[in-house]
C-alpha cells in the first residue's frame, strides 16, 4: 500500500485522464453550433456525457477524501508522538497476547507429539509380537495345497 500523497497523486492523474477523455468524446459527439443571438438550442445529452460527468464527480470526491485524510497543519509533533506512543502500547499488548498463544500452542504440540509417540510405540509393539499358532499344525499344513483334483476337471 502506498502513502496518502502517492494515492492523491494517482487520483489527480486519474482525474486528468478522465477530463481528457471527456473532452475528446465531446469533440467527437457534439453537434456543430453557431454563436450569436438565438443560437441557444437544447439537444439530447449523450450517454457518454452523463458517464463522464459521474466519473469526474466520483474522482473529485475521492480526491477530497484523500485531502481530508492528510495530516493537518494543527498536527504538532507532540500529537504525533502521542499517537505513536499509543500505537506502541497497542503493539506491545498484542505482542504479549501473541506470545501467550504461541506458548499455549507449543504445549498442545508437545501433548500431540507425545500421544502420537505413544500410539506408534503401542502399534509397533503389537505388530512385533508373534501370533499364536496351533501346536499340532506343521508348516506344510499351513500352506494351501497346490494339487488339483482330477475329478473336478472332468465335469
What's the average model confidence in pLDDT over 134-151? Answer: 53
Please give the average per-residue pLDDT across 103-130, as a whole number. 91
Q: What is the pLDDT of residue 138?
A: 53
The pLDDT of residue 40 is above 70: no
pLDDT at 124 over 70: yes
> What is the pLDDT of the chain when averaged over all its residues?
81
What pLDDT is attached to residue 32?
74
pLDDT of residue 155: 44
**Reduced DSSP (H G I as helix, E B as strand, rest coil) percent helix, strand, coil of the chain, to 5:** 70, 0, 30
Amino acid at each position: 500500500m502506498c502513502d496518502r500523497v502517492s494515492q492523491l497523486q494517482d487520483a489527480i492523474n486519474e482525474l486528468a485522464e478522465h477530463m481528457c477523455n471527456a473532452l475528446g468524446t465531446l469533440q467527437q459527439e457534439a453537434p456543430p453550433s453557431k454563436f450569436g443571438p438565438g443560437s441557444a438550442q437544447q439537444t439530447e445529452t449523450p450517454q457518454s456525457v452523463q458517464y463522464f460527468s459521474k466519473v469526474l464527480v466520483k474522482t473529485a470526491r475521492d480526491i477530497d477524501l484523500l485531502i481530508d485524510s492528510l495530516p493537518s497543519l494543527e498536527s504538532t509533533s507532540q500529537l504525533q508522538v502521542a499517537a505513536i506512543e499509543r500505537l506502541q502500547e497497542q503493539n506491545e499488548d498484542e505482542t504479549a497476547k501473541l506470545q501467550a498463544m504461541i506458548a499455549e500452542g507449543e504445549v498442545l504440540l508437545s501433548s500431540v507429539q507425545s500421544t502420537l509417540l505413544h500410539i506408534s510405540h503401542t502399534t509397533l509393539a503389537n505388530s512385533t509380537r508373534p501370533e499364536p499358532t496351533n501346536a499340532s499344525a506343521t508348516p506344510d499344513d499351513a500352506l494351501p495345497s497346490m494339487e488339483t483334483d482330477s475329478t473336478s476337471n472332468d465335469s
